[in-house]
Structure 1
Amino acid sequence: MTKTAKVLTALAAAAVLASPILAQQRRGGGGERVAPECRQEIIELCGRGRGELRTCLRDKYAELSEGCQSALRQRIEARTGAGARGEGAARSGALAPQQTLAYGSDPLQGLDLWVPEGKPAPLVLFVHGGGWKRGSKSNAMGRALPGHMVEQGYAFASIDYRLVPKNTVEEQAADVAAALAYLLKQAEALGIDRSRVVLTGHSAGAHLVALVGTDERYLKAVGLSFADIDGVLPNDGAAYDVPAQIEGAGPMMKETYAQAFGTDPARQKALSPIAHAAGPNAPAFLLIHVQREDGVAQNAALAEALKRAGTKVEVGSFAGEGLQGHAEINRRLGEADYPATPVVDAWLKKVFGA
């Protein structure tokens, strides 16, 4: 990776924050620092405390919308002289998708697909995070993951889905099922082994795959069932019991949860994977998480509920705290020296019978 790329990836937030990002305008002229909608997005993601803002943005930069990322990159380039080369260099090291496909009519119902050469490959389908209201298949996962999955002999799909508040969490779970149905319908032409499938996702994406893996209605609506899935791998989710998560959330996240799940207790329960875990469920789960207090508790509760139902479940607990750990387990999964990678590899081999 070039020096420019390292600036744009490792120092993205800190460089911009050399002058306060929350200020409305430059003193003495010069126009706005960052567009108001981007400032608001950053506040929703990281809060208003400047001390925490630097670390939060550096760790969660990938969860910002593409427009906000572009605005920040432009400010970095202006400060570092990186110029127009920056964006391409920042994305170097990632394996480019072989195909970008539409699984629905909405612009956000699209997916990127990587397939290894040779015989039909087991499918790993990834669902990005971003608080149910932001994120993208292109920027909300670690750069190493697609290439690593292909090296392991798996097809890998990263999907977009419709976002809150324009759409609902129910529609997002429906999008996960629809994307899977689209791929399995064309499995032979795409080089996918439709008999071996795992769903995975990070953060909000972890919640969505856990919901689809415990509430079969979403799969049945597209002509599938739990028989079409071999396993579910939620990565550092913390909304498996939505009412409990809302109860313990701070002001910033409470607002995010209220926007996603509303205030109706019955709806919150219906969108809680733990409420459906009594079974039937997808055949096997691997719950991986870092040491966030709410995440640890939520993963333990879901694991226990799945075990009581007789579902095969394993838990992987890894170092990392707060937002930094939450971002790292997503950003680094697929890197050979990251501890979660061999755990995930071993579980996938077992689930796929490789």
Structure 2
Amino acid sequence: MASAIRQLLTALIGATLLAALAACSPLKTLNALTPDDTFDKTEGIAYGSDPRQKLDVYRPKQHVANAPVVVFFYGGSWNSGSRSDYSFVGEALASRGIVVVLADYRLYPQVRYPLFLDDSASAVAWAHAHIGEFSGDPKRLFVMGHSSGAYNAAMLALEPKLLGAQGMSPKDLSGWIGLAGPYDFLPIENPQVRPVFFWPNSPPQSQPINLVRRGSPPALLMAATEDKLVDPTRNTAGLASKLRAAGVPVQDRYYSRTGHATLVATLSRPMRGLAPVLEEISVFVKTAPAQ
């Protein structure tokens, strides 16, 4: 009986919050419901000279030496987004003992592919060089993203030239995590995304699915089964299959009670009952071997 009541309450809370998210700014709602007593935050650290090249660090309130580190990239079709919108992600991971870096990067129309990936690589290089100052372990370094941010994470893990330009290698990553990521999207159908990738001359090497190679970092890929924006079968399942064929350790997870946007929203405290996304990420990060 108690279990049934908990399930009912979770469903009611989820439905109420979903209605609130539809009525106003979803991310502001989630951030307003995010506690601030689980982390210490250092804001506005520059990793480059452009105003968009800044990041925030979320350090667990209970400082532990050599904590694992996750660099997170948000989505927004490479033309919108701000790290300040995702404090609920920083809180979620910090509450699990993970040091979190939330990085902004330049967006279209200021830049096109691959310059926003260069920014992402620079943010990771900053973390690798400086995260020890925040009790993080650079040998336990992960990249993670949602939607187009998951694409950024995938490219850093699969295209050695990106981190190579920063004096690093994908082998410096203990793993990567993709939530609802587009990994195989040519020809481009979304008119907002087309100019970002020089449509109709979008380069095949822009696609993570074409860059899989043996020895790539382990991956945790997560998707909503009813995602209407990024096809989970083509993208998440397709990339997972190709990674396995190359001998790369990969876990793929699919959730029926979330959509494209609510998948990342399950990291917020009010919506964690919809899917065990935070638990899966925490286990993946904490059990991966250091590099």
Same fold (TM over 0.5): yes
Q: Give 1:173 shift.
A: 1.0
Higher strand proportion: 2
Residue in 2 that maps onto 1:154: 98
Q: Give 1:190 shift.
A: 2.6
Which of the residues 72, 78, 81 maps onto 1:132? 78
Residue in 2 that maps onto 1:242: 185
Residue in 1 that maps onto 2:219: 285
Higher relative contact order (CA 8 A, sep 6+): 2
Which structure 1 residue ranges, 4+ long, deviate > 4 Å from structure 2? 7-10
Residue in 1 that maps onto 2:146: 202
| Mapped partners of 1:12, 1:290: distance in 2 | 18
Tell me whether 1:115 sits opposite 2:115 in the alignment: no
How high is the TM-score relative to the length of structure 1?
0.68
How many percent identity over aligned positions?
Answer: 27
Which of the residues 218, 228, 231 maps onto 2:162? 218
Higher helix proportion: 1
Tell me whether 1:93 sits opposite 2:34 in the alignment: yes
The CA deviation string for residues 194-220 of structure 1, in whole angstroms up to 9 with x for no partner, is 100111000000111111110011000
Tell me whether 1:316 sits opposite 2:250 in the alignment: no
| Mapped partners of 1:196, 1:205: distance in 2 | 20
| Bigger Cα Rg | 1
Residue in 1 that maps onto 2:107: 163
Q: 1:142 to 1:319 in 2, by over 3 A?
A: farther
| Mapped partners of 2:31, 2:95: distance in 1 | 22
Whether the aligned pair in 2 keeps the contact of 1:290 and 1:296 (CA below 8 Å) is no
Q: 1:347 to 1:188 in 2, by over 3 A?
A: closer
Whether the aligned pair in 2 keeps the contact of 1:142 and 1:332 (CA below 8 Å) is no
Which of the residues 11, 26, 30 maps onto 2:20? 11
SS in 1 for 2:72: strand
Q: Give 1:264 shift.
A: 4.7
The CA deviation string for residues 231-269 of structure 1, in whole angstroms up to 9 with x for no partner, is 0101011x211315x2xx3xxx2x12212212254x431
The CA deviation string for residues 100-134 of structure 1, in whole angstroms up to 9 with x for no partner, is 21111111111110123131211011100001000
Give ranges in structure 2 of 5+ residues lacking alignment: 1-15
Give ranges in structure 1 of 5+ residues lacking alignment: 1-6, 16-57, 63-68, 70-86
SS in 2 for 1:138: helix
- Aligned Cα root-mean-square deviation (Å): 2.6
Q: Give 1:280 shift.
A: 4.4
